[in-house]
Structure 1
């Protein structure tokens, strides 16, 4: 059995004596200093659509934005319950000009979606299609808006037999005017649904990017209570 370490101070401690000039005989070590800056050429990252660069990474903490500045740039919806949304005039899937005023006099379900033919947007559009008779029974009209052009909307509506209007908001001008918030730090257009009553006043604002079917459930629930 190995002996246990002892804390006794009775053991003799060896002493080491160095010559007084021993440190002066040590060789001179070269100084290593990296004077070349990191390259400033930006590189792209696919993580959440963010673009990073060497120069942004090398910033000192004092040069980074404060927490308060992040709050200032946060996106908040401008169109809220009880307000009247800004007017617009856009082209539908047939290339015809459509204004928001056209839908006055009946409840309107207007939903913004990211893009045609994406899985979530296709599921949402087909869910509106499958419940379209329920919306008609509630006296409501359904309109979808995305940044795709009229030709893309036409192909999308034809392929999935969509019985409602799709409007082309190229450049996302209306989306910005309505203040529709984006997802993933604004890199992905948001999915937001508005229920507007016959007087043009918003009665519901519903946002859910990852459960597109819930937009139909929530809007029907409200329409049936009006």
Structure 2
């Protein structure tokens, strides 16, 4: 199987500057020095994405304990993110990837049929190096278990 991944384990991913749910610009480089979980998801308010976001929310304290930050990224605009975060009381940052530029730069694959942007999670260590790339389109909650397992080991 040929992988089209641009960003893989052991890589330093390209930096980004994206707007958060409050319209503030956030760059990846601001997180250097602490582990970060960056998860790309298809869209706010879809069943799988809501499950995934709520699973990250419910385990957020565990991520904090591991010293990690959690950031969700989709193509939705900041106002959509703000409503989504408010409705589900999401304690972490959601970033707006306008035109899916960062998704393309990182090489996040589409879903099986190429109709939806893919669901992929990255764990980046405090040096800025990717330690895990996890892709599971159909079991969104698994992303949380896998990332926590890895964070507790680094």
TM-score past 0.5 threshold: yes
CA distance in structure 2 between the aligned counterparts of 1:150 and 1:220, rounded to whole angstroms: 27
Distance in 2 separating the partners of 1:185 and 1:211 = 16
State how 1:42-121 maps to structure 2 within 5 Å. 76-121=4-49
What secondary structure is seen at the aligned counterpart in 2 of 1:101? helix
2:88 aligns with 160
- Answer 1 or 2: higher relative contact order, Cα 8 Å, separation at least 6: 2
Runs of 4+ in 1 over 3 A off after TM superposition: none
Quote the Cα distance in structure 2 between the aligned partners of 1:214 and 1:145.
17
Instruction: State yes or no: 1:137 paired with 2:65.
Output: yes
Q: TM-score when scaled to structure 2? A: 0.97
Deviation sequence 1:2-47 (CA, Å, 0-9, x none)? xxxxxxxxxxxxxxxxxxxxxxxxxxxxxxxxxxxxxxxxxxxxxx
State the alpha-carbon separation in 1 of the partners of residues 146 and 45 from structure 2: 23
User: In structure 1, what is the Cα distance between the partners aligned to 2:102 and 2:112?
Assistant: 20
CA distance in 2, matches of 1:219, 1:180: 17
Give the deviation of 1:185 after TM superposition. 3.7
Q: Does the Cα contact within 8 Å between 1:94 and 1:154 map onto a contact in 2?
A: yes
Backbone CA RMSD of aligned residues: 1.2
- Assess if the C-alpha contact under 8 Å between 1:75 and 1:181 holds in 2: no
Q: Which runs of 5+ in 2 are unaligned?
A: none
More strand by share: 2
1:126 aligns with 2:54: yes
Aligned residues: 154
Q: Give how far 1:222 is off.
A: 0.3
- CA distance, structure 2, for counterparts of residue 135 and residue 170 of structure 1: 27
Q: Which residue of 2 aligns with 1:210?
A: 138
